[in-house]
Structure 1
Amino acid sequence: MKIYKIIVAIAVTCTCISCEDYLDLSPISEETSANAYNSASQIEAALTGTYESFQSSDYYIWDNVLFQDVRSDNYYAGGDNPEIFSIDYLTISPTNSKVYGSWSNLYNAIAKANTVIDRIDAVEDVNLTQERRDQITGEAYFLRAYHYYNLVKTWGGVPLVLEAVTSVNPEDVNLPRASVEEVYEQILSDLELAATLLPDTYGNEASVNKARATAGAANALAAKACMQKPNPSYEQALAFISEVEKSSANYILIDYNYLFDGNHYNNSESILEVQFLGGDEGNWGPQMLLPPSISGDTWRKFVTPSHDLVNAFDAEGDVVRKNATVLFESVQWIDEYWGNEIGTTIPFGYKWKSASGWASSNRQYLLRYGDIVLLKAEALNETGQLELAAVEVNRIRNRALLPDLTSAQKANKEVMKATILNERRLELAQEAQRWDDLVRNNVAVSTMNNLVTIDLRTGSAVNYNMTAAKILLPIPQQELDRNPALVQNPL
C-alpha cells in the first residue's frame, strides 16, 4: 500500500491572531450527503481535514500553553493582552475569547472525526482495502478521543457529540453536559477500539509514523486518561504503558537537547507530533515568545518564564533542561516581575528555537515517551512500588545529567509523589502539561496560593486567590446563550 502522508498546508499571515474556527451546527448539505464520501480519495481527504485541526486551531498552536503553563506557576503572561493577563491572574471570565475559541476549536475537530467515523463504512471503493479502512477508522476514533480528553480535563463534563450533526432541531443540537466519568469512559472506549485497529507503524518513514495515530499513540493517551480522571486507574494505566513500551515503534529517550533544537523532530522519543514544515506549512506560535535576537521583533513577548520555574531548575542543578527551556536576554521594555526598567535581562520561553517570521517549523509534541516514563513512575508510586518508580525517574534524570534520586527524595510515597511532580515540571515546562499535573496531584489550589510573585511596579505580592472552583475553565458564555441545556461551572 502506498504510504499516506499527512501534510496539510495552512495559510499563515503576519498577524498574531488566526481566524477563529467556531462550532458550525449547520446540517450537512444535500451535495455533501450524496457525493462527498463515496471514494477512497474522498474519505482520505476527510481524514486529512481531521488532522488539519492540529495546525489550524489556536488551541493546539498556542492556547493550550496559556491554559496549562501561564495559568500555573511556570510562566507569566508577558505581552500586552488583557485576556492573557486574566489567565495569568486566574480571573478568567466566561466571555474570554480564548475560552470560547478553544471550546469551539475542539468541538470542530470532533465534528470532523465524527464525519469520518459515520461515513467510512458506506464507502464502496475497491481502492479502499480493509486494512486501510480499519486504519482510517482507528485514526478517527483516536483523534476524537484526543480532543475529548482536552475538553474534559479543561471544563469537566461536556456534551458528548458522537455523530455528525445533520439537524438544526434544538432537541438534537442542544445537548446537556455528560458527567466527567461518562466522558472519560467514552475516551477510553474510543482509544481501546483505536488500538486494535491501528498499526505500530505505517512503514519506515518517521515523518509518517509520527504524524499519524498509531497503536502506541492510542495506548499512551489511554494511560494519560487513566491517570487524569477523578478516580485514577493506576493498574490500567500501567497496562497501557506496557503496550507502549512493547510497541515495535521502539520508543526510547533521546538526548534532551535534540528534542528541542528544531533539527531532530520525528525522533525516537516522539509518539505523535504536528508536522509543521515552515513556510506555507508553518507555526506562528514561536514568534509570540522568542526574544528579539531570534524573532527580529522589538515588541514585548508573551509567556515569560517565572522566577519560581527558574529557581526550580537552579535548585536541582538542572543545567541541561534549563538551557533547553529558558534563554535570558536584555530587552528594551519593562517587565513587572524581572526588571522594572528598560535594559533588564529577562528570561524567554525557549523550547521553540526559530520564529521564521510567523512560519516556523518548530512544534509541540502531542505525545512523547519522556512524559509516559514519568507517568509510569507516578503510577508505580501510587501502587506502592517506590523503588521501581525511582528507576523510571532516574532514567529521566540521568539523561539530563543529574544523579539518581537521593534517599531523602524517595523517602516515602508522599515524598516520592512530590519528587515526581517536580521532575515533570522540569521535564515538561512549556509543553502544556503543568496545570493538569497540579490538578491530578491535588495541589493546584495550594501551589497557586503559596506562590510568591512580586509585582515590581508596586512592590506587592500578587494575590492569585485560587479556589477549587478555578480548577476548571468557565463554560463559554456564547455556548450558554446558544444552548439552554448547558449549566455553568462554579465561578
Structure 2
Amino acid sequence: MKKFNKTQRNFGIVMIAICLISISSGCKNFLDTQKQGEYTSGDYPYPSGSGAYDQYLFGAYNDLRAYGVHSDAFIVATSIRSDDADKGSTASDGGSDVISMDNFPVLANNGRANSLWTGYYALINKCNITLDKIDNDATIIATDAIKTQSRAEAKFIRGYAYFMLVRLFGRVPLIDKVLTVEQSNVPQSTPAEIYALIESDLTFAAANLPVSWESKFVGRVTKGAANGMLAKVYLTQKKWAAAMGAANLVMTSGQYDLSTPYDKIFSESGENSKESVFEVQATANAKVKTDNGVQYASIQGVRGSGVWNMGWGWNTPSTALEAAYEPGDPRKARTILYTSTATTPGITIYGEITPIGLPNPRYNQKVYTNPTFRASINDTFGYWMNVRILRYADVVLMYAEAANEIGGTANTTAALAAVNSVRFRARNGNTAILPNITTTDQTALRLAIQHERRIELAMEHDRFFDIVRWGISQAEMSAAGKTAFVASRDNLLPIPQVQIDLSKGVLTQNP
C-alpha cells in the first residue's frame, strides 16, 4: 500500500517531455462526481455554464488529486518536515525517503522529492496544453469571454503549481508553453523569475475569474482564490502592502466569513463552506471508493486493525505542537486525536473511544472521517475527504501579519481586529479562554500573529513554509528536537538527482 504507484516512478524530464506533446485523457473525472453533478451523453463536455476548453481544464483539476501532487510526498514535505509533526506509524515505515524528511538531511536521491517535481510539472504541462488550445486551436469554437475565463483558470492552477515548486526547491525550470521533446531540457530560472510568472498568472486569474460558480461546478477556482493565493505569494516575498491589499479584496468580497464553527470546518459537512477559499475536491460512494478521491486523509488515518484500520498513521502531531496551545483552546481537541491508555480513554470528535496499543499516541484529527459516512460506503480510508488548500482564516491572518509589518496606528488597529476575529471564532462563546490580543508593540504583535497562525492552521501544510519565511526555522526545528536540521541546507529540498542526470548537467544542485 505504501509503495510508489505509477505516478511516482522516476519519469523525470523524459516523462515531462512526453507529456509536453500529449493531451491527457480522463479530463472528465474532476467535476464528474457526486458533488458536482453528473454529465449525460447529451451534454458532455459542454453542459450549461461550461465551456469549450473544460475537457482540458478538467485534466488539470483532476491532477490536483494526483498522488504526487496532494498526497504522499505533499504531506511529507509540507508537514512531516516541520516542527509540528512527526512521521508517525512504525519506526521503519516509509523507508529512508520519509524518515530523512522527518529527521534530516534529505538526500538528492529522495524519491518523494522527485515525486513532487514530476507531479507538479505534469500539472503545469496540462495547464500549458489548455493555454495552447485556447490560443492556437482554431477548430475549437468559443466566445472571447469563455476563452478569457478558461485562460484564467489554467493560469491560476499553473501559478499555484509554480508557487509550490519555488518554495520546495528554489531554482526550477520555467516552462510556460508547450514544448517539443528537443526543447524540453530547460535550465533553472531564479526564484525571482519564477515569482514574476506566478504573480502574472495569479493577477490575470484574479482579474478574470468569476466571483463564484453554480453549485454543479463547486471546486472551480474563483476570484477570491486567486486574490487569496496572491496574498500568500506577496507575503512570502515580504511585499507587505501588496499582500494586505490582496487579502483585503478577499475579505471585502462578501463571499467568505468566519461563521463556520472550527470543529465543523474539517468534517465532510464543512466542505466548501464560507470558510473555503480553495479546496481540492474529492468524493466516493459504495461502488466507486477511490477513483474520484484523493489519498490525503488515508495516509494520515489511524493505523490500527478492523474498523480502526483507517490508513498509514503518518503525519502525527508532535509534542512541540501539543505544548503550544493556550489553556482551554478548543482547537487542540479538534486537531489532536489521542489514543487510549490504560488510565485515560482517547475520544474522537464523534464520541468513539480509540483502542489501546495503537502505534502512536496522537493522530491528526483534522482528517478524521465521519463514522456514519464510513458505514454508508463500507470503507474506512477517507478518499472522499477534500484537501483544504486555502482557508478564509488563513487570509485574515495574512492580512493581520501584513498590516502589522507595515505599521502605524491604523494598520496596527486593523491587525488586532483581524487576529482577534480568528480568536473570537475559536473560543466559541467561552469568554474565559483565548483573551483578545491587545499589544500595540510591533514585535510582540508579530509573535502573537505567528503563534495564531501556528495554532489555527496546525497540521494544514503551512507551518514549514511559515518558519522558513520568518527566518526562524533553525531555532524552531532545534527546539522541537529535530537537531539534524540545518537551515542553510534544509530550508529547500535538493534538486532530484535523477532530474540532474536526465538533463545531462543542465540542472544544477542546490547549495
Into which bin does the TM-score normalised by the smaller protein fall? 0.7 to 0.9
Contact 1:219 1:244 in 2 (8 A): yes
Between the aligned partners of 1:142 and 1:389, the Cα distance in structure 2 is 28
Counterparts of residues 239-258 of structure 1 (less than 5 Å): 239-258=245-264
> 1:222-270 CA distances to partner (integer Å, 9 max, x unpaired)?
11000112xx111011111122123253444421111012212110110
Aligned letter for 2:231? A
Contact 1:73 1:448 in 2 (8 A): yes
SS at match of 1:263: helix
SS at match of 1:87: helix
Between the aligned partners of 1:388 and 1:187, the Cα distance in structure 2 is 28
Between the aligned partners of 2:255 and 2:212, the Cα distance in structure 1 is 6
CA shift for structure 1 position 348: 0.7
Aligned letter for 1:427? E
> 1:419-446 CA distances to partner (integer Å, 9 max, x unpaired)?
1111111111121100111011110111
> 1:121-171 CA distances to partner (integer Å, 9 max, x unpaired)?
334468633322211110001111000000011111211001012x222xx
Q: Which residue of 2 aligns with 1:405?
A: 436
From 4, 16, 21, the equivalent of 1:24 is 16
From 418, 421, 425, the equivalent of 2:450 is 421
Give unmatched runs, 5+ long, in structure 2: 28-44, 343-355, 428-432
Between the aligned partners of 1:389 and 1:295, the Cα distance in structure 2 is 45
> 1:82-101 CA distances to partner (integer Å, 9 max, x unpaired)?
22111111211111100000
From 290, 302, 311, the equivalent of 2:323 is 311
From 355, 358, 361, the equivalent of 2:384 is 361
From 269, 286, 295, the equivalent of 2:297 is 286
Between the aligned partners of 2:312 and 2:126, the Cα distance in structure 1 is 37
Counterparts of residues 314-333 of structure 1 (less than 5 Å): 316-330=326-340
From 75, 94, 118, the equivalent of 2:108 is 94
> 1:385-434 CA distances to partner (integer Å, 9 max, x unpaired)?
32321111111111110433344xx3521221111111111111121100
Identify if the C-alpha distance between structure 1 residues 382 and 50 changes in structure 2 by more than 3 Å, giving closer, same or farther: same
Aligned letter for 1:395? S
Q: Which residue of 2 aligns with 1:3?
A: none
From 453, 468, 473, the equivalent of 2:488 is 468
Identify if the C-alpha distance between structure 1 residues 411 and 49 changes in structure 2 by more than 3 Å, giving closer, same or farther: same
Between the aligned partners of 1:17 and 1:309, the Cα distance in structure 2 is 30
Aligned residues: 443
Q: Which residue of 2 aligns with 1:489?
A: 510
> 1:96-129 CA distances to partner (integer Å, 9 max, x unpaired)?
1000000110011000001111111334468633
CA shift for structure 1 position 57: 3.1
SS at match of 1:397: helix
CA shift for structure 1 position 324: 1.1
Q: Which residue of 2 aligns with 1:151?
A: 165
Aligned letter for 1:312? A
Q: Which residue of 2 aligns with 1:376?
A: 399
SS at match of 2:362: strand
Aligned letter for 1:317? P
Q: Does 1:277 align with 2:297?
A: no
Identify if the C-alpha distance between structure 1 residues 75 and 249 changes in structure 2 by more than 3 Å, giving closer, same or farther: same
Between the aligned partners of 2:311 and 2:207, the Cα distance in structure 1 is 49
SS at match of 1:121: helix
Identify if the C-alpha distance between structure 1 residues 77 and 43 changes in structure 2 by more than 3 Å, giving closer, same or farther: same
Moved more, 133-142 or 78-87: 78-87
Between the aligned partners of 1:122 and 1:396, the Cα distance in structure 2 is 46
Give unmatched runs, 5+ long, in structure 1: 1-13, 333-340, 454-461
TM-score for the superposition, normalised by structure 1? 0.84
SS at match of 2:71: helix
Moved more, 174-183 or 19-28: 19-28
SS at match of 1:20: helix
Between the aligned partners of 1:192 and 1:362, the Cα distance in structure 2 is 29
Contact 1:394 1:403 in 2 (8 A): no
CA shift for structure 1 position 51: 0.7
> 1:442-467 CA distances to partner (integer Å, 9 max, x unpaired)?
1011111232x4xxxxxxxx632423
SS at match of 1:351: helix
Contact 1:72 1:435 in 2 (8 A): yes
Aligned letter for 1:364? V
Identify if the C-alpha distance between structure 1 residues 300 and 25 changes in structure 2 by more than 3 Å, giving closer, same or farther: closer
Q: Does 1:436 align with 2:465?
A: yes
Moved more, 362-371 or 55-64: 55-64
Contact 2:128 2:178 in 1 (8 A): yes
TM-score for the superposition, normalised by structure 2? 0.81
Between the aligned partners of 1:294 and 1:397, the Cα distance in structure 2 is 38
From 227, 237, 262, the equivalent of 1:219 is 227
Contact 2:301 2:312 in 1 (8 A): no
Identify if the C-alpha distance between structure 1 residues 260 and 295 changes in structure 2 by more than 3 Å, giving closer, same or farther: farther
CA shift for structure 1 position 329: 0.9
Between the aligned partners of 2:126 and 2:190, the Cα distance in structure 1 is 23
Q: Which residue of 2 aligns with 1:336?
A: none
Q: Which residue of 1 aligns with 2:477?
A: 448
Aligned letter for 2:340? S
Between the aligned partners of 1:345 and 1:330, the Cα distance in structure 2 is 10
| RMSD (Å) for aligned C-alpha atoms | 2.7
Between the aligned partners of 1:295 and 1:392, the Cα distance in structure 2 is 42
Q: Which residue of 1 aligns with 2:84?
A: 74
Between the aligned partners of 1:25 and 1:104, the Cα distance in structure 2 is 11
CA shift for structure 1 position 217: 0.9
Between the aligned partners of 2:358 and 2:234, the Cα distance in structure 1 is 47
Between the aligned partners of 1:159 and 1:357, the Cα distance in structure 2 is 40
Aligned letter for 2:221? A
Q: Does 1:55 align with 2:55?
A: no
Between the aligned partners of 2:81 and 2:185, the Cα distance in structure 1 is 30
> Aligned residues: percent identity?
28
